[in-house]
Amino acid sequence: MQRLFSGIQPTGIPQLGNYLGAIRNWVALQQDHECIFCLVDMHAITTWQDPKVLRQQTLAQTAVLLASGIDVQRHILFNQSAVSAHARLGWIFNCVARIGWLNRMTQFKDKAGKDREKHSAGLYVYPDLMAADILAYKATVVPVGDDQKQHLELTNDIAQKFNHDYGVEFFPQVEALIPPQGARVMSLRDGSKKMSKSDPSAQSRIEMTDDADTIALKIKRAKSDSEPLPSEVAGLENRPEARNLVTIYATLSGTTIADVLGQFGGQGFGPFKTALTDVVVNAISPIASETERLLKEPGFLCDTLRDGARRAGAIAEPIVSEAETLVGF
């Protein structure tokens, strides 16, 4: 069985993009992989996080992941800061990666914007830590959304340079598993931006704990255009908002974009948005109610993370110790 690693930042309640681009696939991949799922709190603090809120959100995300079907009997779920191997290997990788490589990372450019000198140094070296997250377990399969593709290429560059510099085939190459559909869910308010839990506007995303009325309202207000839906996929060109809503519908209902357009093509957004609301509510409601139940058991959630950290550490510790020996520590 191949070892799989994936992470999510505890910076808010997971949104529909996290679910379609990552979490839903994690649940399916549990079937035939040895999985390690990580709440990356060390990544989260690359931008300011209120300590109380961060702690609370780490538990809330644990609840959402368990409610979504992550199986902690057979797989591992933990928070990054609880296993020190991540920080230690992350430092080694800061010294392996070249500044020129990091300068090419588009996510840093997107997040930092024009004011790049005012951001934390952590935000800049984030991809090095991400490489450490994966390679501390010698994981080879990494299911992610489209936005992480470049970071995984960097992970492979780091692994290769480490192996070359220290003269051993130590770290494996990793494979990004990007879903064919739903890998880049866009904001409901702006079809040019990805849906994100860190977007200041909660109207831009559907959160996994939203109730049916909230979902209905967000979809009703979602940006669209004044044309009817096209009957052919080609008709979605230059209509990012329409494409996004149709993609969400298709991905959640397990059909293709062409099928959805076959059904709704020629109609206005009104009836389509009503149908989309039903599909989203059906997917989210059971997860939201199970999350609510689990949130009443913070002790259980803490124990789950603690147990996960112990099991994760048992895998990472010998690998990272060996990397440290190779470096000369």
List residues with catalytic annotation. 111, 194, 197
**Residue in 4, 13, 15, 129 binding ligand ADP, rule: CB under 6 A:** 15
Strands 76-79 and 175-177, sheet pairing: unpaired
* CA–CA separation, 33 and 5 (whole Å): 10
Name the residue nearer to ligand ADP (CB basis): 37 or 269: 37
Note whether 127 binds ligand ADP by CB under 6 A: no
Of these, 4, 13, 17, 287, which contacts ligand ADP (CB under 6 A)? 17
Cα–Cα distance measured from residue 33 to residue 174, given in angstroms and rounded to the nearest whole number: 14
Size of the site for ligand ADP (CB under 6 A): 21
Q: Which stretch binds ligand ADP (CB under 6 A): 70-78, 88-96, 164-172, 181-189?
A: 181-189
Q: Virtual CA dihedral for 166, 150, 319, 324, nearest 10 degrees? A: 40
Contact pick of 90, 127, 145, 313 for ligand ADP (by CB under 6 A): 145
Residue type (1 letter), 53? V
| 196 binds ligand ADP, rule: CB under 6 A | yes
Pick the closer one to ligand ADP by CB: 20 or 105. Answer: 20
Instruction: Indicate whether 246 belongs to the interface with ligand ADP (CB under 6 A).
Output: no
Q: State how far the Cα of 110 lies from the Cα of 129, in Å rounded to an integer.
A: 18
Phi-psi region of 105 (alpha: psi -120 to 50; beta: other; left: phi over 0): beta
Interhelix angle 269-295/257-264, rounded to 10 degrees, is 130
**Is 243 a residue that touches ligand ADP (CB under 6 A)?**
no
Contacting residues toward ligand ADP, per CB under 6 A:
8-9, 11, 15, 17-18, 20-22, 144-145, 147-148, 183-185, 194-198
